[in-house]
Structures are given as C-alpha cells and as structure tokens.
Structure 1
Amino acid sequence: MEQATYWRLCGLSAALFLPYGLHLPYFPVWLAARGLTDFQIAATLATPLILRVLLMPVIAYVADRRGIAVTLAWCASTMAACYVCLGFLPGIPLVFAVSVVAITAQGSMPALSDALALAEIRRFQKIGLRGIQYGRIRVGASLSVLVMMLLSGPIVAVFPGRKIIFALALLGIVPVIASVRIARRMRKVRFHHGARSGLTEDPRALPLAILVIAAASLVQASHAEIYAFGTLQWAAAGFGHQTISLAWAIGVMSESVLLIFCGRYIRGVPQALAFLLLGGVGASLRWIAMSLAPDAKIVLGLQVLHALSFAATYLGSVSVLGWLAGPNHRARMQGWLSAASALSMALATIACGRLTHMFGAGAYLAMAGLAAVGTGLACAAIFMQGFRKLEMNSV
C-alpha cells in the first residue's frame, strides 16, 4: 500500500510538471514572437502571480473542504484548455488575458500536489510507516522538467516561434490525464470534521510558519530575473538553442540530485530550517555572480547552484509547513506559501522588466539583495525555533 501510494504520487508529480520544462524557458520566447515588448512580457508573467495571491487561498480552502485531488484535476484541465486556445487567439489583449488564466491555473497545481503528498506522508507516519520521503516524490517533477528541458531545443526546432504554443498544448494533456486518475483514487484526502486545530497544529507555531513563508518567498522571488529574461539574455549573448537548453537542464539536474540524496536528512523542523538557510545563501552567491554577465561556460557552472537557491529553499520551506500544518489546513498552509511566493515573484518580475531595460545583467544584483533578506529571515526562524524548543522543554 505504502509503495503503491509513493509511485502514484511520484507519477502525478512528474506529469504535472512536464509542461514546465518547455514553458519556463520558451513561453517568454513565444510571447516575444507574438509581438509583446519586454515590459508586456514581464506584465504577462507577473499578473498571474498577483492573481494567484487572491485566488490561491480560495482554491486551497475549496481543496481542503471538497478534495485536494479533485481541485487539482480542475486546475490541470483549465491550464490545458487555455494552451489550446492560445494557439488560435488574435491580438495581444486576448493573448494576455488567456495567458494569465493558464499561468494562474498552472501555478496553483504545485501547492495542491504538495498538500496531497504531505497529507499521505503524515497519514502513513501516524501508523508507524516512514517509507515515503517528500523529497523523493518531488524528484519525479524535477526529472520530468529535466527531460523536457533537454528536449526543448529539438522541440523548438520543430515548433519554432509562434508554433511553440502547440507543443505546450500537447504537453498539457498529460497533467489532465494524471490528475483525473489520481482524483478518482484519492477523494478521501479532504476535510476531517472531528479535528479542531487551526492553521498550525500547535497555535504557538504560527509565528514560525509566517516567518518561514516570508523567508522562502523572498528567496524564490530572487529567481524572477532568470525566469523572465534568462533565455532572452542568453540568446542575445550568442548562446545557441542547445546551450540554453543545457543551462536550464543543468539547473534541474542539480535540483534532482539534492532531492534524491538530501531529502532523507529532513526528519523534523530544525533540519528543514537548515535547508531553507542554505538555499538563501546559495541564491545570494548565484545572483552576484550572474550580475557579472558571465560567458556560456561560467553560466553552465553557475546553474549548479540551482540546487541550493531553489531546491534547498523549496524542500526546507514545504517540509517545515508540512510538519506544522493542522490536519484540516494541509492545502491552505501550502496555499499561503504559494500565494506569498506569487506576490513576491510578481513584484520582482515587474521590477525586472524595468531593471533589465536599464541595467541589463546588473538586475541580478537586486535579486541578490532579495535573497539576502530572505536569508536573514531564515536565520530569525532558526532562532525562533530554538526558543520555541526551549519553551516546550521547560513546560
């Protein structure tokens, strides 16, 4: 039973993230091919993040009450339908509007998938089974993105420019099939009327959860420059399609290695907080180096730091919140993290549109500043957890 659940969750994670491997590096390229300016591209990518701030708490509430897996299936279906529509819509306003809906639906899926996985992990832990590790489930997503990024160069050669959206539409079918199948099996992961806990199982842990959400959101927002303009900047610098694909793939590969080999070391909140701190430090160093506009070889080397800036931050924050969340607030806890991350990423992306126009690669220094603030908040969370532990021991 435990292993069967693991493989289902791992497969779901891989399916949900398959479109990301092409969307992340090449959706901005498709927007540019449709005639959008740098500022319009930044606005198209940032607006769904702002919208998700408003919608994610509502989506997460519905998921906790009505079923996480069912809500996930609806989000996947909406994303796929929007990709299909984008292939035929005329005019920038319609492209902008439908892109916003597609990215909003797509961006809601990871939090729901995390909540579903963590709920199952906690369920098995309560009966003494610890064979499922969140990091290993998340590896399915990373490997899926990695494979698609490695294939993105050849795919774009077949679907160049404005045809990229048709490749995304085909990939969007996979999450729909996977999420509908999992929804039919896992309807039971929903509201427990007998439980009475709040957002955190221990009310005294709420300030710690808020601090973790703030720290993780800032570190993740520091990726805004590379997500929005990395491919465009590298292409302008003369990097070929294969080099760009390899750069993105190295980042995901390093992320996968960390999840495979380091997830086992997170056995509680202290270890998860250490990963969050490590992620902030790695992000600060990464963006300082990127601000120097390095050549292709150095960029490929720096992409290894994605294991820290993204994966360590993500694994640490999601794990902390999974441990702290109340039984009826699994989706909402991850939803608040997703909403906060979306808000910070939206503001950072909008700022990057202007900063990139003015300073080019120098915009990465602002990203280093964001990561540094997040690192400081991670340190504060570690100190708070220490005081909380002392307080619990003294009772």
Structure 2
Amino acid sequence: MPAPHPEPSRLRLSLLYAVVFVEIGIAMPFMPVWLAALKLDASVIGLLLALPIATRIVATAPLMSLIDRGVGARTLLASGSLALAATYALMPVGAGVGWPVLAGLVLLNAVAGAPLVPSIDYLTLAAVRARPQLDYARVRMAGSVGFLLANLAGGALLTAMGEARAVPLLLTGLALIASGVAFASRSVEAPRPARTGEGRPRLPARLLLCIAAAAAIQASHAAIYAFGSIHWTAHGISPAAVGALWSVGVAAEIVLFSRVGRLPARWRTPFRFLALGGGAAVLRALGMYLLGDDLPALVALQALHGLTFGATQLGAMAAVSGLAPDGARGRAQGTLSAANAAAAACATLASGFAYRAGGPLAFLLMAPLAAAGLVLAAAAWRSAGRTPAPAAARTPDTDRQP
C-alpha cells in the first residue's frame, strides 16, 4: 500500500494551530475587558489575570511529561480543549456566585490550557522529523494568522454582542471547535516514545542553555506587552494607530515564518536563530527607550517582532527537536513553556516597578535581559563545539536546499 501523502498532516497541524490561536487571540485582549464588565475590584482582576501565569509555570512541564509516559499529545490537546470549554461556560455562573468561585474556575481553566500549544508544537516537530518536506515555520504561521484575525474580529464581535455575553460564549465555542479538530486529527498523532529501560533520560546541558536563552529573549517582550499601548497613547498616538502597530508586529512574524525556508541551510540552526532573536531584542529595547514616542520609528521597531519573537521561537523549537533525547521530548517541550512563563512573569513584575519609577526606563530594562539570552545562546553554541548542528536540531526544511 502506498504511503499516505504528507499534505493532510500539514493542513491538519495548521488547522490545530489556527483554532487554538484564535481562542488565545480572543482571550488575551478581551478576558480583562470581560472581568472589568463584571464590576470587580481592580485588585481582584489583577489576581485573576495573574493566576493563569502562575499556573502555567507549575503545571505545564508535569502535564507535558505525561507524553513521555505514553499519553498521546493529541489526547492532551483534545481533552484540555474540552476542559477549557467547560470552564469558560461555567465562568458566568461562577462570577454570579462570587469571585472566589470564579478564581477556582480560572485556575482549572489555566491547567486545561497549559499543554495546548506545547502539544501542537510536539506533534508538529514529530511530523517534521518523520517527513522532512514539512516546514515547521509555515505550519506554525497558521497560528499567527489566526491570532491576528481574532484580534481584528474580536472587537467587532464584542461590540455587536455585548462584552458581558460575548467573551465567555465565544471562548466556549472556540474551545469546543479546537477539541473537535483535535479528536478528528488522527493523522497527526506522533509515535509513542520507546521504552528504554534506562530510567528517565536527562535533558542535556546544551538544550537547557538554549531553553534559558529563549526564555530570557522572550521575556524581554514583557515591558512592551504590558506598557507599550499605555506609553503610546500617553504620548498622543491614537488607539487606531496603536492597533495598527500591534498588527505590524504580528505581520512581521508571519512574513518571517513564510520566508525563512529560503535561508541557507547552515543558518537554520537553533544557535543562530536565538542569536538573531536576541540581537534584535536588544535593538528593540534600546529603540523603545529612545524613540518610543515617535510613530515612524515605532513602525520599524514593531517590525523587529518578526525576529525578537519569530526567530527566537524557531531557535527554541529547533533545539527541542534536535537536542532532546527520546523519552524526554514531552518534558523538554513542557520545560521550555514553563521557563518562558516564569521568565515572563518575573520580567512583567520588574517592568511594572520600572515603569512606575521612570516610564520608558522599563523598556531599557529589557535590553540586558535580551543580552543575557544572547550570552546563553553563545554558551550553548560553544558547548556544541564548532561543528555544524545535527540536522534534526535545525528548523524544518533544513534537509532541502532552497
């Protein structure tokens, strides 16, 4: 019997990214709006928004390590999305009972959502290792497109339906759709990890250095994520222009994912991608400190998001795919996600104090964090020696010359 054509797997994986990131694209900007519509105290809203971050730090790695014990990544994705839908549906009821009940639902919601994106990454990297013609960047691009479309459409939907009703209803429906797509996507299931009988494999130091580098570089986005819009509007930039600036960042990310396969194969290694992301992040942080109120400069600085986020993401995925041992890939994926969440939480907290003390000083504070990521990436490269990274450690499409 002929082998199945790889195209359905690519489309299924792209669809999984799209449906999950559409949900995230509604939840991230509009869940705070829904909480505010409940007339909750600001301190309670802060607690409810901090709970998911803390939960991801604690829950992601243990949940993802279940994959190494035989639980399918698709099972985690489908069941997690189903639990996500249930908690979203119950949130209006919980809010009516009292905020402690709502907090409990937010906590369960965060646990359910913690393994979703890492599970799709796990499935995609497994597919790429099995089928070199697949391109991780192009598959992952569907998530960025879904997130951007959700951002653009979400505001209109909230206006039409009313924010108090629209947010939980939309999120419940989107999570149910994600669960259904995951249940139906049998063609993307990754092979179960082999039992080695040697106990729990350790993550190599080189991989841990790459994870730390990626976490530091991604955390350098904290100040702009938290205070970029506030800073821009305070300097007279219109809300419409602020929305456009955020769209520039996501569009740049999409462009990188669509074109990265044209780079020479020797460039598509985790160390080079992490260095590219870290260098751009240093430049962006300095630019935000010096020119964070100048609209033309901000367009260029937001375009750097394609590198600060996109190149860093590609480097991290290449490191996990190529450097994690069999039997520990799920744990490696979860460790990366947990490290990203922990670093982002600390950087967000620090940027809050810095912005209160000195406004744009918060953006400058991100430069040494990005530079630390650069140093860690260099340390990972030096620990690998000066030989080229193994093919499996490179981003997808490295075995095909452009």
Counterpart code for 2:345: A
Task: Give the counterpart of 2:177 among 174, 177, 191.
Answer: 174
Partner residue of 2:343?
344
Pairing 1:120–2:121 present: no
Counterpart code for 2:342: L
Partner residue of 1:70?
75
Counterpart code for 2:328: H
Q: Distance in 1 between matches of 2:221 and 2:37?
A: 23
Aligned length: 380
Q: Distance in 2 between matches of 1:307 and 1:43?
A: 31
Q: Distance in 1 between matches of 2:150 and 2:34?
A: 17
> 1:386: how far off?
2.5
**Is the 2:220–2:369 contact (alpha carbons within 8 Å) kept by the matching residues of 1?**
yes
Q: Distance in 2 between matches of 1:197 and 1:323?
A: 20
Q: Distance in 1 between matches of 2:210 and 2:261?
A: 18
Partner residue of 1:189?
191
> 1:389: how far off?
6.4
C-alpha spacing 1:93/1:264, structure 2 compared with 1 (3 Å)? farther
> 1:299: how far off?
3.2
> 1:235: how far off?
5.2
Partner residue of 2:153?
151
Partner residue of 1:142?
144
**Is the 2:220–2:370 contact (alpha carbons within 8 Å) kept by the matching residues of 1?**
yes
Partner residue of 1:12?
16
What residue ranges of structure 2 are gaps of 5+ in the alignment?
Answer: 390-402
Counterpart code for 2:55: L
Pairing 1:87–2:92 present: yes
Q: Distance in 1 between matches of 2:21 and 2:74?
A: 16
C-alpha spacing 1:226/1:161, structure 2 compared with 1 (3 Å)? farther
C-alpha spacing 1:80/1:237, structure 2 compared with 1 (3 Å)? farther
C-alpha spacing 1:241/1:80, structure 2 compared with 1 (3 Å)? farther
Task: Give the counterpart of 2:61 among 47, 57, 63.
Answer: 57
Counterpart code for 1:157: T
CA deviation profile, 1:330-374 (whole Å, cap 9, x unmatched): 221111111111111122223334333333343222222211211
Counterpart code for 1:369: P
Q: Distance in 1 between matches of 2:275 and 2:127?
A: 27
Partner residue of 1:290?
288
Q: How does 1:220-235 map to 2 (within 5 A)?
A: 220-234=218-232
Pairing 1:3–2:1 present: no
> 1:86: how far off?
2.6
Partner residue of 1:383?
382
Q: Distance in 2 between matches of 1:159 and 1:360?
A: 36
C-alpha spacing 1:251/1:188, structure 2 compared with 1 (3 Å)? closer
**Is the 2:13–2:188 contact (alpha carbons within 8 Å) kept by the matching residues of 1?**
no
Q: CA RMSD in A?
A: 3.0
SS at match of 2:321: helix
> 1:144: how far off?
1.0
SS at match of 1:328: coil
Q: Distance in 1 between matches of 2:205 and 2:332?
A: 13
CA deviation profile, 1:233-261 (whole Å, cap 9, x unmatched): 55555655543332222211110110111
SS at match of 2:331: helix
Moved more, 298-307 or 311-320: 298-307
**Is the 2:48–2:103 contact (alpha carbons within 8 Å) kept by the matching residues of 1?**
yes
C-alpha spacing 1:348/1:78, structure 2 compared with 1 (3 Å)? farther
> 1:270: how far off?
6.7
**Is the 1:273–1:382 contact (alpha carbons within 8 Å) kept by the matching residues of 2?**
yes
C-alpha spacing 1:149/1:299, structure 2 compared with 1 (3 Å)? farther
SS at match of 1:87: helix
CA deviation profile, 1:181-205 (whole Å, cap 9, x unmatched): 22x44555323235869647xx8xx
Q: How does 1:15-34 map to 2 (within 5 A)?
A: 15-34=19-38
SS at match of 2:191: coil
SS at match of 2:365: helix
> 1:42: how far off?
5.1
C-alpha spacing 1:333/1:23, structure 2 compared with 1 (3 Å)? same
Q: Distance in 2 between matches of 1:361 and 1:95?
A: 35
CA deviation profile, 1:151-198 (whole Å, cap 9, x unmatched): 23323433555445233333333322222222x445553232358696
CA deviation profile, 1:101-123 (whole Å, cap 9, x unmatched): 33443342111111111112212
Q: How does 1:257-336 map to 2 (within 5 A)?
A: 257-263=255-261, 265=263, 267=265, 271-292=269-290, 293-336=292-335
Q: Distance in 2 between matches of 1:212 and 1:383?
A: 12
**Is the 1:156–1:164 contact (alpha carbons within 8 Å) kept by the matching residues of 2?**
yes
Q: Distance in 2 between matches of 1:49 and 1:134?
A: 26
C-alpha spacing 1:102/1:249, structure 2 compared with 1 (3 Å)? farther
Counterpart code for 2:128: I
Q: Distance in 2 between matches of 1:96 and 1:218?
A: 29
Q: Distance in 2 between matches of 1:13 and 1:22?
A: 14
C-alpha spacing 1:42/1:369, structure 2 compared with 1 (3 Å)? farther
Q: Distance in 2 between matches of 1:288 and 1:144?
A: 30
> 1:309: how far off?
0.9
Q: Distance in 1 between matches of 2:368 and 2:284?
A: 11
Counterpart code for 1:220: Q
